[in-house]
Amino acid sequence: MNRTLIILSLICLSIMLKAQNLTEAVRYSYLNNYGTAGLAGLAGAGGAVGGDMGVLTINPSSIAEYRNSVLVITPNIYSVSSDASLLDQETTTTDLNSRIGMGSIGVVFASSSPGKRLSTNNLAITWNTHSFFREKVFYSGLTQGSITQRFVEQANGLDESNLDPFEGYLAYATDAIFDLNQDNFYDSDFKPTTVVDKNQDISRFGRMNEINLTWGGKIDETVNFGIGVGIPIVSFEENKTYVEEDQIDDFIPTFNRLEFRESLLTTGAGINVKAGIQSKVGNLLRVGLSMQSPTLLTLNDSYSTAMQYDYTWDSQRYITDEESPEGSFKYRLITPWKATGSIAGIIKTSNIFGFVNLDAEYIDYTNNQFDFQKFSNSSTDAARETEVNDNVLLQLTNGINLRIGADIGTQKFRVKGGVAMIQSPYDLQEDADIAYSGGLGFRGDSYFLDLSITQRKRSEGYVPYLVLDSEDNQQVAIDQKLTNIGVTLGFKF
């Protein structure tokens, strides 16, 4: 956990709410494939086998297995349970946040020609959810230090006209910081050793979806091939409310309450290309290999802040409010290419059949790259681009994600299970997330039904604000349990 907190301290830039930083690079490249319930029941392991629409996002050659056209729809329930605590505090708050949504929907148009060298020639149009961003976190505690220390450090050496309109100026305009000597060096109602009661409410919403157009076929009933074009669509919203209070009358002279609010909305879209092959090796072995190109995303950030400061001076109470202008920024982010190698063993008996599939996915997160100059000629943006991309190279790493899943059953009934080990994209964080999944399936003559549940645990650190002395930074520990329940209903036509 301490390593994670160190990482987050290093990567936060000058304005807390701006999204163009290393955290955003991870958000849009460290993805989950919720897709169909059939694939989710295997923990996402299906790159060497076909016949499931969710596998198209891993290996597009799996489309070749379809002999009939199908329509598939997957609603799901996604929930996040968060335990957050300010370090060294006993107070822990649990927040459970659930949402019913759509994991995937798609159609495969199949053309089968038995006896010909190209025995299937299929086309698919699919829509999948790669990541949910919905979560709520709340923490509170009594610790030394105040966010006004950050505002003072930002403002020092600057006159009023040059203060940051999203942080420093708000603090100055609401009297949270003040320049008593008119020398451009600022003070506040707090000392670094002042003990302050603080809390923060964080709400995140949105998702990253992808529309895929996939084409492929089967050659000589032995080799599957497929290519696809993906169009990811990003929608992310974050709202934070940070509060400091003097809960005991006059424990902190003059000060009563501070509230700092941050809002961020990110929207955008992009494009990538996928290609893959699958092949039989004898009767009981299947292998697969696929690659996805870097994803080129064009993103738009809209952001704002607001502050309220409540204090008493000469027996008179003052409550002052100030809002920032509406900020916006358009830029590009190129997320990394990735490759997936897969192997599956086929299980066949007189009454039971199925498979065990292992996927190994390689991705190098250091290949994330921001382009701030595509839509801007500012020298400041150019310098910030270099800073952020340098942080990507220094703080991120490459990794291999492993997924293993098994599917076994009779002609009509299926049982699935799987485990995934997802490595952290951060260089200093060695722990991997572990996800477990299970599922059931039924196959009818003209329809099929799958049910799955996936659960994943992860821990992360969070620093609400940064100051020059890292010893004064507040550190929050967040433990989360993510649960996804999916139901897939498919119709053959």
User: What local confidence, expressed as pLDDT, does residue 6 receive?
Assistant: 41
Residues 475, 479, 484: CA angle, nearest 5 degrees: 145
State phi, psi for 55 to the nearest 5 degrees.
-70, -20
Q: Which domain holds residue 359?
A: 2-146+190-492
| CA distance linking residue 301 with residue 328, whole number of Å | 5
Tell me, yes or no, whether 474 lies in a domain: yes
pLDDT at residue 275, as a whole number: 98
Mean pLDDT in consecutive groups of 10 residues from the start of the chain, 493 residues: 44 48 87 84 92 92 95 93 79 67 93 93 94 88 93 95 95 96 94 90 93 96 96 96 87 93 97 97 95 97 97 93 96 96 93 94 96 90 91 92 95 94 84 91 95 90 87 87 94 94
Rounded Cα gap, residues 7 and 109, in angstroms: 47
H helices, E strands: number in the chain: 6, 21
Tell me, what's the pLDDT at 460?
80
Tokens of 345: 């063993």
**C-alpha distances out from residue 173 to 160, 170, 308, 312, Å:** 9, 5, 10, 16
In a domain, 171, yes or no: no
- pLDDT computed for residue 14 by the predictor: 38
- Which stretches of 109-247 are DSSP H helices? 148-155, 168-173
Question: Residues near 120 by Cβ (< 8 Å), separated by ≥ 6?
Answer: 64, 65, 66, 67, 110, 111, 112, 113, 217, 218
Structure tokens at 204: 């995140």
Does residue 374 belong to any structural domain of this protein? yes
Write the CATH number for 301: 2.40.160.60
- pLDDT for 117 equals 94
Q: What is the pLDDT of residue 426?
A: 87
Q: What angle do CA 121, 124, 128 make, to 5 degrees?
A: 150
Domain assignment present for 157: no
CB distance 72 to 53 below 8 Å:
yes
* 156 part of a folded domain: no
Is residue 180 domain-resident? no
Query: Which residue, among 386, 346, 288, has the nearest Cα to 20 in the 3D structure?
Result: 386
Distance CA 123, CA 213 (A): 8
Phi, psi for 25 (deg, rounded to 5)? -55, -45
Residue 417 amino acid letter: G
pTM value is 0.88
- The predicted pLDDT at position 366 comes to 95
> What pLDDT score was predicted for residue 4?
46
**The total number of structural domains that make up the chain:** 1
> Could you tell me if residue 179 is inside a domain?
no
> Does a structural domain hold residue 153?
no
Per DSSP, what are the bridge partners of residue 298?
Answer: 269, 332
Contact between 171 and 149 (Cβ < 8 Å): no
Question: What percent of the residues of the chain are helix, what percent strand, and what percent coil, each to the nearest 5?
Answer: 15, 55, 30
Rounded distance, CA 146 to CA 131, Å? 34
What is the CA 178 to chain-centroid distance, rounded?
39
Residue 1's pLDDT is what? 45
